[in-house]
């Protein structure tokens, strides 16, 4: 099982609802030049939910953010593929030491010896297809086109591994596409069916899906690109999420993400043996980095702040920047979303840094 850092939950302390530091941090983000149009954080502790929000969910209408609006969750979806894989490991239908060559023969001939464990932990050395020039050209030429999971992987089928499998950490979106394909191969079920059986049902998720078109369900939080001296550009329905699939294609709500991470981290979705395997952390940061010191494990990251430790995942997709996490016992959780991608190298570096600091303030408020 995942072991919390000492004093992380501070269960004996009464909840503090004012959150002055967190409120001030949210004000600073939304007031900065090139800020996202909106930002919100949901905090769940001791059976109570608190939502703090700034700005708007829709620039055109002025609609406010609420926790049941749909949004693209970006790489937070990697935790879902981790949950599916570990549930199958618990049932004996997949093994953490199963290799790509065994489960998906011929798909990635240069990566036959990479294991499921290494793919889940980003230590297998699989090259990231999203940086492949041919993929980028294809995406730019037709961003709304459906792309199959095998098509995504084929962009790097002839690309050498970035390092010897198991020797170091390197974040790669290819990893979780491969995890989803291995799960399909092991069961004969589609990844969408696996999500329904092993995640949506057990965690009681009612607003989560894996779409294959650009359309967003209503009502949704619009996502934007933000640039200097220009109005925000709505990217909500620009890019087909099939281009991210198990690595980042899921649409969900703040309410569902709260439920999922409490169940996932708290141990409700798979057995103890699989949970124990998650205790092997390596030095590695989620992308974008989460609050505090980041360490990676199977489909999950540990975020150790000066206030305590949570386990979760961050994400970024055109129009959205995310964090969702829970304490080790699943009793306290948070979800934070900004409706602009704003990460290092894209958008304001200052705002990106402010968002990460705000994430840490949210962890501190959660632990009070």
Please check whether residue 6 lies inside any domain of the structure: no
Please check whether residue 110 lies inside any domain of the structure: yes
Cβ burial of 219 (10 Å; 0-12, 13-18, 19+) is middle
Q: Tell me the average pLDDT across 281-294.
A: 96
Is residue 2 over pLDDT 80?
no
Question: What is the pLDDT, as a whole number, of residue 16?
Answer: 37
68 or 345, which is more confident?
Answer: 68
Is residue 63 over pLDDT 90?
yes
Please check whether residue 114 lies inside any domain of the structure: yes
- The reply to whether the predicted model has a pTM over 0.85 is yes
Please check whether residue 12 lies inside any domain of the structure: no
117 vs 330: CA distance, rounded Å: 23
CATH number at residue 268: 3.40.710.10
Is residue 239 over pLDDT 80?
yes
- Ramachandran region of residue 154, left (φ > 0), alpha (ψ -120 to 50) or beta? alpha
What mean pLDDT, rounded, does the chain reach?
94
Is residue 11 over pLDDT 50?
no
Please check whether residue 185 lies inside any domain of the structure: yes
Is residue 67 over pLDDT 50?
yes
Residue 1 banded pLDDT, cuts 50, 70, 90: very low
- Ramachandran region of residue 270, left (φ > 0), alpha (ψ -120 to 50) or beta? beta
Residue 18 banded pLDDT, cuts 50, 70, 90: low
Is residue 293 over pLDDT 50?
yes
Please give the radius of gyration of the chain, using alpha carbons only, rounded to the nearest integer. Answer: 19
Q: What is the DSSP letter of 198?
A: I
Tokens representing 43? 């905090």
293 vs 226: CA distance, rounded Å: 28
Strands laid side by side in the 48-55 sheet: 48-55, 38-45, 332-338, 320-326, 309-317, 300-304, 293-297, 282-283
Is residue 17 over pLDDT 80?
no
Residue 187 banded pLDDT, cuts 50, 70, 90: very high
Is residue 94 over pLDDT 60?
yes
Q: Tell me the average pLDDT across 237-253.
A: 98
Tokens representing 262? 């409490």
pLDDT tens string 135-161: 999 999 999 999 999 999 999 999 999
Above pLDDT 90, what percent of the chain?
A: 93
Report residue 56 CA to chain centroid gap.
22
Domain count, the chain: 1
Q: Tell me the average pLDDT across 124-130.
A: 98
Is residue 192 over pLDDT 60?
yes
Please check whether residue 3 lies inside any domain of the structure: no
Q: Is the dihedral of CA 317, 227, 22, 302 positive or negative?
A: positive
Q: Tell me the average pLDDT across 289-298.
A: 97
Terminal CA-to-CA distance of the chain, rounded, Å? 24
Residue 44: domain span: 20-367
Is residue 132 over pLDDT 50?
yes
pLDDT tens string 298-346: 999 999 999 999 999 999 999 999 999 999 999 999 999 999 999 988 9
């Amino acid at each position: 099982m995942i072991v919390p850092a000492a004093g992380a939950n501070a269960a004996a302390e009464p909840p503090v609802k004012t959150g002055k530091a967190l409120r001030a941090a949210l004000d600073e983000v939304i007031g900065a030049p090139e800020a996202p149009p909106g930002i919100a954080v949901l905090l769940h502790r001791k059976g109570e939910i608190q939502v703090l929000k700034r700005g708007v969910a829709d620039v055109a209408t002025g609609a406010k953010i609420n926790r049941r609006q749909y949004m693209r969750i970006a790489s937070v979806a990697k935790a879902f593929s981790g949950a599916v894989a570990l549930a199958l490991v618990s049932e004996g239908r997949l093994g953490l030491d199963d290799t790509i060559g065994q489960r998906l023969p011929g798909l990635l001939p240069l990566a036959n010896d990479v294991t499921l464990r290494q793919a889940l932990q980003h230590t297998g050395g699989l090259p990231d297809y999203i940086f492949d020039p041919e993929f980028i050209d294809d995406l730019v030429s037709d961003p709304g086109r459906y792309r199959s999971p095998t098509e995504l992987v084929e962009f790097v089928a002839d690309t050498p591994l970035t390092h010897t499998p198991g020797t170091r950490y390197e974040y790669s979106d290819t990893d979780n596409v491969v995890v989803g394909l291995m799960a399909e191969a092991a069961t004969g079920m589609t990844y969408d069916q696996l999500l329904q059986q092993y995640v949506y049902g057990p965690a009681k998720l009612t607003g989560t899906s894996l779409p294959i078109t650009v359309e967003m369900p209503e009502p949704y939080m619009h996502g934007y690109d933000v640039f200097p001296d220009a109005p925000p550009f709505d990217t909500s329905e620009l890019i087909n999420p099939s281009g991210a699939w198990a690595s980042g294609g899921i649409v969900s709500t703040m309410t569902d993400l709260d439920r999922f991470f409490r169940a996932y981290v708290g141990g409700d979705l798979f057995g103890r043996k699989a949970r124990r395997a998650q205790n092997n952390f390596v030095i590695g940061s989620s992308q974008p980095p989460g609050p505090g010191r980041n360490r990676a494990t199977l489909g999950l990251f540990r975020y150790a702040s000066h206030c305590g430790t949570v386990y979760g995942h961050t994400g970024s997709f055109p129009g959205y920047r995310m964090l969702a996490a829970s304490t080790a016992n699943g009793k306290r959780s948070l979800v934070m979303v900004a409706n602009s991608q704003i990460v290092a190298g894209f958008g304001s570096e200052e705002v990106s840094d402010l968002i990460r600091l705000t994430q840490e303030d949210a962890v501190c408020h959660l632990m009070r």
